Structure 1
């Protein structure tokens, strides 16, 4: 949004006409007023993008007009004008909502520079509002973020189950947005003003996880120098997300089952029973029925958690959402990084839609973020994504090289291509090739000794 309609308020006829003429030459729609009362009446009837307001006027001074204008139209930008400026006056004006303060006499160039700054400010305000709104949509999983029928059903399911206290088990591949769904359930519920607490069950050893969940008393174990409040207490009256629930030990599973059934627990090393009211949402990227059959997960805990089951489809099962997500993350990261990237061309979008996205939405999000940061043009093209899809690129490389080549040559070319894609990082390359770093180094040393090609020597010298 840029400045279009401007109101000039000044009791000095010559000064008012000079500014109006300057602004008219700049192509702005200009209206003027000779006093504060007239200005306030105009603001009450019409909307203005910008007001130039004289500080000293008979009847009602500029400060009084500023306050009344801001009460009527808070978003209108007001610039105060005076021939008698002081630091104290400027500070007071800013506190009352003025955008800036300009000293008379001023030049047309000063006015144009000032309006340019106003335009930039307005642009940022609108973009921030847009992204705050879309951030809420993203967190609350508004249906606008999917055209897929299964996802639409999940959105409707969220609205229905949010107000209940029933435990929810969210299953799906890594990167499909399980935590996002958990947050959506919380935000749509009457608990939305209460805490949403998350604990990553896979990140902590058994003893640490027990303390993290239930807290501990001072002296409960070596190093417990003070009482600690656990996540269940922190989440009281709110929602507790147990992320990667399949990773907890049988001992913690038993204690968790008791909390779910009785809504009470004791801190580690404590005797006092603590009552809680917590809504439990659990997530996993594993098939818990398989874990039950293996004996690694309790069946009774599964049924206690699985009161309301939600299974998120992978991104490759909802390809119609890829253009929507690409557009969203392009805009998001372009604004966050002050980047010039605005879109992708059709060929590139088709390319992105055909990719299988093993990392799902998380992978897409990261790929778009990297492409925006590294992008050098407003429209991203396919070559700018080269190397970002390592899983697919390696598979394609191996398939291409295999035809008509000896196995050893294929191996050598695959190693060189992988090193190029990882920027010479041997550790990363070894991981992708599923060999040890030592094996990779031995092969490179052998290739170096056998190399007859200057090109091969150059590649080897670069990655060493």
Structure 2
């Protein structure tokens, strides 16, 4: 589609000449009075506007200000036969992109218009990418309507614009890095870099170089100077995943960087000042690691200014339908419209060791294997189907509880609940499903029985 150019000049000859000159390259419209100009601007989005600085009795700069209010994204180039340094400055302050003198040099103005179009395309691309980033990493891009996830979202929103360090605690597969990115990309540091490193995936002899960088020749194999993640993340955010796996020697050096806000690459004589926000994550209980001597207490307190605990998928089963719908849409498989009630029931009753990542893998597999528009129970992994069948078989007819005539109903209820809970390996989600009661009611009953002892 051709880009749109509007020419506003009270001399019809100039409008006609410019329209003739540009109409092979752009969609060109002209206006020789203020009413026509405003009508066009209200009905159509213009890419470039060529505006006369002296428009009859109207000051072109006042008209420029009005144009920018109607169409902020349009690029305006001023034209004048009465040029001066001051008028150029005033036009630029009012939002003009550039300034050209009359009589017009057509080659020069063609180059200027092309340059303005390229500038607008670049701005459009940046705006699009920013929206995509926010859509992917923003808090509202993380799926969850459960109360526990809403609490996470609320906390992320409260701390996103601060510079304090954050510790994310959760099991593997819950989306720790997504939460870290939400904090960064929603906050004041979003225009600077987000660097991520998995402390448990890098060999012990390389972790320092990866974090702090090194100078050329500082050790065997150091053939060039390398910036560390701290230096790369200056003014931005550094995400330290699996911080509990970091060795004690590196912990000491990390603590020094946090205290002095200065990083010293391996082999460097002087340190470099850095301004980095740390978001650390772990699936370990760092308090227990401190007690065992595996993690420095002073570093723990430095990192643990604010703690975010992401619930496991088993703690937020009500989010499973939302997550499944999201994964189906993300697959870009147009033929898949959803999931059957039977398949959803099986997935809601499943105990997830791998959390959201496990559910995502199950759905991706089902999408690849199904021949239907809806994911069927038979499209789910065989092991999952066997476990589900076994649980319901047990619940229906595998175990009998002897009950004497005259036993109080509340005692019968207690026996049935506790025996079923034991049979389900104390999985409350499965037990509540089998008994046909809510998980909340089940927890209340269990608490009541425990207090009675």
Alignment TM class, shorter chain as reference: 0.5 to 0.7
Match of 1:351 in 2: 346
Residues 1:387 and 2:387 aligned together: no
Residues 1:275 and 2:273 aligned together: yes
Match of 2:407 in 1: none
Deviation (angstroms), 1:148: 1.1
Q: In the alignment, which of 352, 367, 371 is matched to residue 372 of structure 1?
A: 367
Match of 1:155 in 2: 153
Instruction: Check whether the contact 1:217–1:228 (CA below 8 A) recurs between aligned residues.
Output: yes
After superposition, what is the alpha-carbon deviation per residue over 1:293-346, rounded to whole angstroms, capped at 9, x for unaligned?
Answer: 11111111000000011111101101111100100111110x1xx451110011
Deviation (angstroms), 1:130: 12
Tell me: CA distance 1:191–1:130, structure 2 relative to 1, closer, same or farther (3 Å): closer
For the residue of structure 2 that corresponds to 1:267, the secondary structure is: coil
Deviation (angstroms), 1:362: 1.0
**Distance (Å, rounded) in 2 between the aligned partners of 1:383 and 1:181:** 34
Instruction: Check whether the contact 2:346–2:388 (CA below 8 A) recurs between aligned residues.
Output: no
Deviation (angstroms), 1:160: 1.0
Instruction: Check whether the contact 2:370–2:376 (CA below 8 A) recurs between aligned residues.
Output: no
Tell me: CA distance 1:339–1:143, structure 2 relative to 1, closer, same or farther (3 Å): closer
Residues 1:165 and 2:163 aligned together: yes
**Distance (Å, rounded) in 2 between the aligned partners of 1:344 and 1:131:** 32
Instruction: Check whether the contact 2:180–2:279 (CA below 8 A) recurs between aligned residues.
Output: yes
Deviation (angstroms), 1:136: 3.5
How well do the aligned residues superpose, as a CA RMSD in angstroms? Answer: 3.5
Instruction: Check whether the contact 2:248–2:296 (CA below 8 A) recurs between aligned residues.
Output: yes
Match of 1:421 in 2: none
Deviation (angstroms), 1:132: 9.8
Q: Which runs of 5+ in 2 are unaligned?
A: 1-5, 7-19, 30-39, 47-113, 115-126, 399-453
**Distance (Å, rounded) in 2 between the aligned partners of 1:151 and 1:269:** 45
For the residue of structure 2 that corresponds to 1:241, the secondary structure is: strand
Residues 1:231 and 2:229 aligned together: yes
1:5-404 superposed matches below 5 A:
66=27, 72=44, 136-142=134-140, 145-333=143-331, 335=332, 338-387=333-382, 389=384
Instruction: Check whether the contact 2:168–2:310 (CA below 8 A) recurs between aligned residues.
Output: yes
Number of equivalent positions: 289
Q: Which runs of 5+ in 1 are unaligned?
A: 1-39, 41-58, 75-94, 96-128, 404-464
**Distance (Å, rounded) in 2 between the aligned partners of 1:133 and 1:355:** 35
**Distance (Å, rounded) in 2 between the aligned partners of 1:379 and 1:330:** 10
Instruction: Check whether the contact 1:340–1:376 (CA below 8 A) recurs between aligned residues.
Output: no
Instruction: Check whether the contact 1:216–1:267 (CA below 8 A) recurs between aligned residues.
Output: yes
- TM-score normalized with structure 1 length: 0.56
**Distance (Å, rounded) in 2 between the aligned partners of 1:61 and 1:278:** 50
Deviation (angstroms), 1:390: 9.1
**Distance (Å, rounded) in 1 between the aligned partners of 2:143 and 2:378:** 27
For the residue of structure 1 that corresponds to 2:137, the secondary structure is: helix
Tell me: CA distance 1:302–1:228, structure 2 relative to 1, closer, same or farther (3 Å): same
**Distance (Å, rounded) in 1 between the aligned partners of 2:146 and 2:264:** 44
Tell me: CA distance 1:256–1:60, structure 2 relative to 1, closer, same or farther (3 Å): closer
Instruction: Check whether the contact 1:143–1:152 (CA below 8 A) recurs between aligned residues.
Output: no
For the residue of structure 1 that corresponds to 2:382, the secondary structure is: coil
- TM-score normalized with structure 2 length: 0.58
After superposition, what is the alpha-carbon deviation per residue over 1:399-429, rounded to whole angstroms, capped at 9, x for unaligned?
Answer: 99xx9xxxxxxxxxxxxxxxxxxxxxxxxxx
Instruction: Check whether the contact 2:134–2:186 (CA below 8 A) recurs between aligned residues.
Output: no
Deviation (angstroms), 1:387: 2.9
**Distance (Å, rounded) in 1 between the aligned partners of 2:318 and 2:185:** 26
Tell me: CA distance 1:316–1:364, structure 2 relative to 1, closer, same or farther (3 Å): same
For the residue of structure 1 that corresponds to 2:196, the secondary structure is: strand
**Distance (Å, rounded) in 2 between the aligned partners of 1:351 and 1:177:** 23
